[in-house]
Structures are given as C-alpha cells and as structure tokens.
Structure 1
C-alpha cells in the first residue's frame, strides 16, 4: 500500500509539472493583441467620454479583444483631475509603476500612449520601471524638454490656471512649488539653465541633466518604437519643438534647437541617437492645435503601431 501511495504521489507531481509547463507556454506564447496603457494630460481624467474615454473605445473598436487601461491617478475622476495639477510627479510615476506591476493583463508587455504631460510621465515609467516591459511608447504633444510658458491652461476654472501661473512666477524652482505643482516639475527656464539642472526634481532627472543614470538609458533603449506626435499649430506647449525633444537655445526664448542638435542626442545620454540610427524613433505631425486630431487620422496613423 505504501508503494502504491508513493506511485500516486509521483503521478500527481508529474501531472502538476506538465500542467504548469503548458500554462507557462500558453501565457508566454499568447497571440492576442498587445495591451495598451493610456495616461491623460493636465486637467483631464482617465474616463472623460470626450477624451480618454473616447480614445479607449476607439482602440477597442479597431482592435478586437484588446485590453486598454486608462490610468486613474487617485480614487475618483475628480481626484484624478486634481492630481494632474498638484500631485508630485515622481510619486505619480511610482504609483503607476505599482499599478502596472500588479496588473496580470500586462505581464507579457504592453504599448503605451501618453497625451500631453502624460507623454513624458510614461517615458519616466519606461526609464524607471522596466517590468512589465513597455514595448512601444507614443506621445501626443508630450513636453519632452519641458515648457517655458503656460499660455492656455485647460483647468476646470480660470482660477486654477491663474493660481498655477502665479505659483510659477513666484518661483518655479523653490522646493515647495517643485514638490507640489506638477507643471513646475517640467518647467525649463532657458535663461536659468544651471538653476533648472540643480532644482528640477523630475524633468532634469529623466533627461540626464545632472549625471548619467545608465539604467535610464538601457531601459529606454529596450523600446521597439518611440513615436512622437507634434501639433504644428499648438497654442499650449511653449516651445512646440519640445514635443520632438527640441527646445530654446540657452540664454534666450526665441530661437530653438532640434533633438539632433542637442547635447542629449549628440552625447547619447538617453540612447536616443542609437535608437534613431536603428529606426526606433518616429516623428509624426498633425496640422492642428494641442491634442486636436481627427478619428480618421488616429486610425490611419496610430492604430498600426498598436497592432
């Protein structure tokens, strides 16, 4: 009887091993569509039916069976919108990394779409949190080199926008404002480059301005594609060249340089030059204002990257 019991035990162990092996192969060889993660911009929320809610439904309509996660930063839509102005960006990125790591639908990799400031925030996720793997990143009007101005703020009320402008004017690089005002954390003053490099707690870090974090470079270069959409008639992002990693030349706020002319590219601090040479960087344009594009344009130009 003892021998028979051991035989049954061995059989069960073998069956268990076979089942786990088959399950692992099924998961790792999943042929379904790659999931998509979306991060909204300033003054928006995860589920606004006129913005992110519409984009989510459009992607689901065009790619059957796809899983789309539109990130909600907070416990409600109202809190999500408020956090887009007043929650420390580094804390937001850490929160999102935790959300993604726990989502079982994303463990085999995902594509990401960042709208406006959500673009540089998702790039920070790619650089800081390589697991689960971000495969492609598409940014729409993302401010990759920051902004120097806030000409058209999309807050719920003018009071919010006026408050932000006052805080930025008082001192964008003071610790209290850097810690608690999102837009200050990607404020890039070309007239005070040294102060920006020293005090910027988010953008200067992810753009390797104070030193080289090799993991940032290694992780970003793992992307299969980095697609950057520039809005040619953008009245919000100043300068619009930031949407392609360009910015104002040092010491003034009129003439700009391109990504390829920047030290970030020429010294390959983030691996962008290597990625560009490998065909991993894609530069798209839209003849519209900030985040203004047609459904037809999106389906024609963006959906193919998600398939």
Structure 2
C-alpha cells in the first residue's frame, strides 16, 4: 500500500513537472462565415505546433460539422454561444491538463477575437494567459453587409438586420447585430437599451459587472490588438483598438475615453502594467503571413523556461495560410461599397450596403 501511494504521488509530481515545462496550449476562435475545419485555420494551429513541438491546440467549434459551425457564426445568442464555449474548453481534458500550470494562450480572428474576449470576461476556465486579436471589432461595427446573391445563409441573416436590428428576436438570434454600435445619439440610446452582447461585455451600462474588469485586467501576458492598415472590412477599422469614431470621422482613442479613465473592463490596468499592445500590420482584413504569426508566437506568447521555439519551413506554412485571405484578394469597391466581415475561402465575398 505504501509503495502504491508513493508511486501515485511520484506520477502526480512528474505530471505536474511535465505540465509546468510543456508549451502553453493555444486556443483559436475563427470569424464570421468561417469554419473550424478551414485548412487555413488548421495551418495556424500547425504552425504553433511546429514552432513548439508537443503543444496542444484547440480550434473552437459551435457544431460538429463545418456547415453547422459556419451557420452558428451568423445565427445564435452570443451569451449562450460563449457559455457553450466555456463548457467546451473546460471539458477538453487534453487542454485542461496541459493548461494546469500556466493556462492557455488565445488567438481570435475578426469577430472571433471579440468573442474570445467575452470568454475571458465571462468564465475564463481554463484561464487565458495572453489574448491576441486580429482585426476584431472591440468597439463594434457601425455598418452591416450586403451578401453575395447565392449566399442564402448570409442573405437570410442580414435581411433581418437592416430593418429590425434592435428587436428582441434579432438581438438574441443574429450574431453581427449583437455587436452593432452606431455613434449617433439616437442609435446609442437604443444600443445601450437593447444590445444583446457588446454593451454588456464593454460594461457600458450603468450597472457594471466587476468580474469582467477583474478577469480581463488580470491577463498575465496581456492583450495584443492587431489592426490591418488597409482594412476595409471592419467599419470603422479603429474599433479594433477600442477607439470611438463619430459620424464626422473624428476619432477618440481609447486612452481619451470614459471607459478607459473609469476602467470599465480592466484596459487601464493592463495598459499601466505595460500589458496592452496596440499593433498594426500591412494589408487588408485577414491578410496574415507566416512571418507575422511566427512573430506573435515567439514574441508575445510566453513559454515556460526550457521551451525553445523551433525554426519551421516558412514556404510551406505561407502556402497554407493563404486560404485565410482568399476571399479578399482582387475585390474591388463600387462607389462606396467595400468588402466586409467574411473570412471563409469557400463562402465568397460579402459586400457592405
């Protein structure tokens, strides 16, 4: 019996040591119109595992198949979807065991980055160490989209938005409506009253959720916000840095906003600790290279002592990553119409109204 107990204690100790010295796991959340089985997303995970052999990765999915997952990026209640992701991640034993020592790193693309922040604020189990978002509308979008004629999922979703964006049904069932935020006084009044998601996680209402502030403000590795220089997809593109853009085009940057000075969600705490990064990269929405991801993985995603990044075949990874940008290559605007909010290479372009 004594030997058995000693063996169990030794095994437990060895497991703890292994977890403490293994690469930090990576969780990935895709954007609107994308799917968890998109080869481009798989290459994002593969690159991380190539740089850090033995790393555990998890691509968030809201259905068991790609079609259902894509549909869930358009339709659903965001609070419910985030609650489901909280259960999904906490139930992944490979992820939780690997995350026991240092938590997980999180990577969010477009709306997926916004939702990943919602996860951190709402539950954060397993705990996120560092959150990196690419082109994510943290301060919302001020315009909706016009869909490709043959994209019936998109057309069905957005037909409700233009006329009924503040209805209870739309705010509980159409995903992009739940982070719509127009700066006009009339729209802001409706936003604060009816928004089904963004006004809540940004703590913009009078009744503040203190756990949102503490959870986000306690990110050990911080929050890294990437903006694409030529982003014509997120309207306004400054939203990815939590900036407010008025109807006349005047920009109020985060550090000049009330939400920062009163620290509604912990951003001031992060910034004062040097853990809030405002970064930009060239190209349009979701134009991501292996060089950029490699920089993110090796510069911003902390690893335990002894975990050394490995050089990888960049040409092979670049070819795979190209699928993330396929929907935006060669798109032209007509008048004031520009592409917005899609990143699925199989879905085709979606156009802003």
Question: TM > 0.5 between the two?
Answer: yes
Q: What is the CA–CA distance in structure 1 between the aligned matches of 2:166 and 2:14, rounded to whole Å?
A: 50
Q: Which residue of 2 aligns with 1:4?
A: none
Q: What is the CA–CA distance in structure 2 between the aligned matches of 1:238 and 1:169, rounded to whole Å?
A: 16
Task: Choose which of 193, 211, 215 in structure 2 pairs with 1:215.
Answer: 211
- Cα contact 2:144–2:161 (8 A) shared by 1: no
Q: What is the CA–CA distance in structure 2 between the aligned matches of 1:282 and 1:261, rounded to whole Å?
A: 16
Q: Which residue of 2 aligns with 1:6?
A: none
Q: How many Å apart are 1:42 and its aligned residue?
A: 0.2
Asked if 1:128 corresponds to 2:122, the answer is: yes
- Cα contact 1:247–1:258 (8 A) shared by 2: yes
Q: Which residue of 1 aligns with 2:189?
A: 194
1:60-92 deviation line (CA, Å, top 9, x unaligned): 222111111111111211100110000211111
| C-alpha spacing 1:17/1:62, structure 2 compared with 1 (3 Å) | same
Q: What is the CA–CA distance in structure 2 between the aligned matches of 1:184 and 1:231, rounded to whole Å?
A: 23
| C-alpha spacing 1:279/1:152, structure 2 compared with 1 (3 Å) | farther
SS in 1 for 2:55: coil
Map 1:132-147 onto structure 2 (within 5 A). 132-147=126-141
Q: How many Å apart are 1:247 and its aligned residue?
A: 2.2
Q: How many Å apart are 1:171 and its aligned residue?
A: 2.0
1:120-164 deviation line (CA, Å, top 9, x unaligned): 1011111111322111111111110110113576x7944444444
Asked if 1:76 corresponds to 2:69, the answer is: no
Q: What is the CA–CA distance in structure 2 between the aligned matches of 1:24 and 1:152, rounded to whole Å?
A: 55
Map 1:126-205 onto structure 2 (within 5 A). 126-151=120-145, 157-191=150-184, 192-205=187-200
SS in 2 for 1:291: coil
Q: How many Å apart are 1:194 and its aligned residue?
A: 1.6
Q: What is the CA–CA distance in structure 2 between the aligned matches of 1:247 and 1:20, rounded to whole Å?
A: 56
1:209-261 deviation line (CA, Å, top 9, x unaligned): 11211111111122121111101111110010111111223xx3622211111
| C-alpha spacing 1:35/1:113, structure 2 compared with 1 (3 Å) | same
Task: Choose which of 36, 40, 43 in structure 1 pairs with 2:30.
Answer: 40
Q: How many Å apart are 1:19 and its aligned residue?
A: 3.9
Q: How many Å apart are 1:20 and its aligned residue?
A: 4.3
Q: What is the CA–CA distance in structure 2 between the aligned matches of 1:164 and 1:45, rounded to whole Å?
A: 17
TM-score, normalisation: structure 1: 0.89
Q: What is the CA–CA distance in structure 2 between the aligned matches of 1:126 and 1:287, rounded to whole Å?
A: 28
Q: Which residue of 1 aligns with 2:224?
A: 227
Q: How many Å apart are 1:302 and its aligned residue?
A: 3.7
SS in 2 for 1:279: coil
Task: Choose which of 100, 105, 117 in structure 1 pairs with 2:89.
Answer: 100
Q: How many Å apart are 1:172 and its aligned residue?
A: 1.1
The count of corresponding residues between Structure 1 and Structure 2 is: 291
- Cα contact 1:152–1:236 (8 A) shared by 2: no
RMSD: 1.9
